[in-house]
A and B are shown apart, each in its own frame.
Chain A
């Protein structure tokens, strides 16, 4: 019973395709996040949702669209994939908006996206 689970764990696709990564948390948290770890190992926040409301939206191409059907799920849809989108995408959750202040973000195992 994984606390934060992401699917798929690996995704290989062609440029121009559209793909989605799903995330679910069973911790009862009300805030969820998407982070991207690029080839230089930077782990950067992309989006954050609190109770299905978008609260953090970093400078991310609008080809990336998060969707939160309920507070336990946060999916990431990527249109027209580009080579530079290749990265590991981590979903995370926390209780409340103060994910950092309370000390704990709970991360999923990551989804490695490779765009050919």
Chain B
């Protein structure tokens, strides 16, 4: 039962253009969403998050948009840089008896073309 889905396994974008990574979820109990970035041979690192009470959160070149009615979120990277080439994981959180569990998507490999 895949509750967090990233339907695009890969994405290639020209340097300087906008990268848009998408994520869909099915569990309506999710109320906090995160994006993690992963380079080869490294663990995922936190990038940006958004609470379900918001529909947008911005941090520098990175913006996450949340559409609760569609159960969809997206990560926008503008402008895209070669160092952004990585695998991006969408994750969602729901409280479980006071504890937190993150449910991850399968990731989208972003390649920025110089």
Q: Do A and B come from one complex?
A: yes
Within residues 1 to 58 of chain A, which ones have a CB less than 8 A from any CB in chain B? 4, 35, 40-45, 48, 50, 55-56
A72 proximal to B (CB < 8 A):
no
- Counted as pairs of residues, one from A and one from B, with CB atoms less than 8 Å apart, the total is 67
Interface pair A92/B43, CB less than 8 Å apart? yes
Q: What chain B residues lie within 8 Å of A56 (beta carbons)?
A: 96, 99, 101
In this assembly, does A103 line the interface, its C-beta being within 8 Å of a C-beta of chain B?
yes
Q: Which range holds the interface residue count of chain B?
A: 20 to 34
B70 in the interface, Cβ–Cβ < 8 Å?
A: no
Instruction: From the candidates A43, A100, A107, A108, name the one contacting B101 in the complex (CB within 8 A).
Output: A100
Whether B32 lies near A101 (C-beta < 8 A) is yes
Pair B43/A109 contact, Cβ less than 8 Å: yes
Main SS of the interface on chain B? strand
A92 to B36, CA, bound (A): 13
Contact with A along B43-57 (1 / 0, CB 8 A): 111100100000000
Interface residues of A (CB under 8 A from B): 4, 35, 40-45, 48, 50, 55-56, 90, 92, 97-101, 103-110
Q: What are 20 A-B contacts defined by CB distance under 8 Å?
A: A43-B44, A45-B102, A48-B101, A56-B101, A90-B44, A97-B100, A100-B91, A100-B100, A101-B32, A101-B95, A101-B100, A103-B46, A103-B49, A104-B46, A105-B44, A105-B102, A106-B46, A107-B45, A108-B43, A109-B43
